Amino acid sequence: MKYLYIVALSICIANCSPQKTPATTKTCLGKISTTVQIEGARTIIGSNMFYPEERERSVQFSSFDIDTTEVTNQMFTKFVSETGYVTTAEKPQAGFNTAGGAVFKQPTAKNLNWWQFVEGANWRAPEGPGSSIKDRGFEPVVQVSFEDAQAYAKWKGRDLPSEGQWEFAARANDTTEFVWGDERAPEGQEMANSWQGAFPIQNTLKDGYQLRAPVGCYPPNDYGLYDMIGNVWEWTKTPYSPQDQNPVYAIKGGSFLCAPNFCARYRAPARQPQEGDFSTNHIGFRTVSKEVSN
């Protein structure tokens, strides 16, 4: 059972039926497939100010480059077209005996679960049958497991970032609470695709997007990296905890589902565990260059 995504709600109010988001054909960036070089470092990541799992710790990495954006549907389509790769969600899932993935659904009076396993949900149909990536080529690919993300990175001759690499790149030498400063929405401006309103019942859509936004629609950090915070969580290759029995990895940055009253993990040090063999419609990834061994 994929326990992380089978969460029951105890309350719900009327009019909390699922919403629909129109397709987004636009691109917010002129060029998407670019990277930024980051110098190697021995540094401290984490924070002792928020959740206990984020506590400060030491990391070290050599110089690397990192994608400026999350991997998009368009980019993943090219990978699948050239390789014939079949993702985890397209194969029968342990515990469910059918293909599919977890999909967020706003709770209703009839169903209080906000995560539901949806048969037929996969990267081509992120919200399940009836949904598609048509006209969503610039949005981040989702419904990709750790193994899928790793396969894509390998095909590109690249790798998934370690948590240290990802967090160092996201922070971009800043020490503020949020990557862009100490206010979540300075002067009322939303700086990342998250959730405004009372999660999971009301989404005011102040930032313009109910689900995923095309990559690069919000200001980049000081290293020129887009959507490190929000839009979709991103896989790292770092185990969440050394004690984990099954492969559980740290994911970073928060997603369009992070709200002030829930999750609030739209900060660089924030982290969350995710089983590597499962996929959802709010987790994607970006790649880094392979580490050069000495």
Instruction: Give the tokens for residue 209.
Output: 């997007």
Cβ burial 211-248 (10 Å sphere, 16+ → b, else e): bbbbbbbbebbebebbbbbbbbbbbbbbebeeeeeeeb
Q: Rounded distance, CA 151 to CA 146, Å?
A: 9
Of 148, 163, 167, 207, the one binding Ca ion (CB under 5 A) is 207
CB under 5 A: which stretch of 36-44, 101-109, 166-174, 228-236 binds Ca ion? 228-236
Write the binding mask 81 to 110 for Ca ion: x where contact by CB under 5 A, - elsewhere: ------------------------------
Q: How far is the CB of 194 from Ca ion (least distance, A)?
A: 6
Binding track, positions 148-187, relative to Ca ion; x by CB under 5 A: ----------------------------------------
Region of 46-54, 78-86, 205-213, 259-267 interacting with Ca ion (CB under 5 A) = 205-213
Q: Tell me which residues in 1-30 interact with Ca ion (CB under 5 A).
A: none
Among 209, 218, 226, 278, the residue binding Ca ion under the rule CB under 5 A is: 209
Residue 151 to residue 221: CA distance in whole angstroms: 27
Interaction between residue 253 and Ca ion (CB under 5 A): yes
For the packed helices 73-83 and 146-155, what is the interaxial angle rounded to 10 degrees?
A: 70
Residues in the chain: 294
Q: Are 194 and 254 within 8 A, CB to CB?
A: yes
Residues forming contacts to Ca ion in the complex (CB under 5 A) are: 193, 207, 209, 227, 231, 253, 256
